Amino acid sequence: MSVLIGKKAPTFTAKAVQGDNIIDSFSLEQYLGEKYVVLFFYPLDFTFVCPTEITAFSDRYEEFSKLDCEIIGCSVDSKFSHLAWLNTPKNKGGIQGVTYPLVADINKTISEAYDVLAGEEMIDEEGNIAVEGELVAYRGLFLIDLDGKVRHQVVNDMPLGRSIAECLRTIDALQHFEEHGEVCPMDWQKGEEAMTADHQGVSDYLGSK
């Protein structure tokens, strides 16, 4: 599994769906210098854990928006699958009402670039392409800053949902560091005391506890 922290986020242009609209050329680069981005991957449309995460991001979208952060979902499904799922009511297993974009990584190149693609392609003894497992994305999440650099990543296995609260906390911590130059210790929450990145700063912080 690649560690992308501190590196430029792999850029891409792909088809996406936002609400009822199909976007033929959706690009990550449109947000550079304008917004932070939370790019998250999920295995497949019309599954069980995925809608809980997708709707949770949607329910708390305004909190991300206040932090100048855009949310982008991505799976290996087609734009037509995304559109159908977005038009299916929640009580019937759909995600109707979600307004942020869902990228169609049908060629699996984006999942591969972020190294979250499960399964493995191989060539058998007869020269045929074989696949071990399913070529779908793990539950990867990447926080990308205004310069297009990855500042946080977490990758969960298929059965394990993620924490929206932790994602928001991490954005708060990054923005606090950018504004004040102070580092944020374990479990730091917005409004709490942080510390400078030196021995005296650590001593002062610990002494206040």
Q: What is the mean pLDDT of residues 163-188?
A: 93
> For the segment 182-204, what is each residue's pLDDT rounded down to a tens digit?
898 888 898 888 888 754 444 44
Q: Based on the domain organization, do 155 and 190 belong to the same domain?
A: no
Residues 29 and 98 in one domain: yes
- Average predicted confidence (pLDDT) for the chain: 89
Residue 2 within a domain: no
Q: Is residue 6 part of a domain?
A: no
As to burial, measured by CB atoms within 10 angstroms (0-12 exposed, 13-18 middle, 19+ buried), residue 163 is middle
Tell me the percentage of the chain whose pLDDT exceeds 70: 87
Does pLDDT of 8 surpass 70?
yes
CA–CA separation, 174 vs 130, rounded Å?
42
Residues 147 and 180 in one domain: no
Both 178 and 111 in one domain: the answer is no
Examine the pLDDT at 102 and tell me if it is beyond 50.
yes
* Residue in 71, 96, 102 with CA at minimum distance from that of residue 168: 71
Q: Does 153 share its domain with 186?
A: no
Which own/partner pairs from 114-122 qualify as long-range (CB within 8 Å, at least 24 positions apart)? Answer: 114/2, 114/4, 114/10, 114/39, 114/41, 114/140, 114/142, 115/1, 115/2, 115/4, 116/41, 116/140, 116/155, 118/43, 118/158
- Catalytic positions: 50
- Structure confidence by residue, pLDDT tens digits, 60-92: 999 999 999 999 999 999 999 999 999 999 988
pLDDT, one tens digit per residue, over 120-149 is: 665 666 666 655 667 899 999 999 999 999
Residue 100's SS3 state is coil
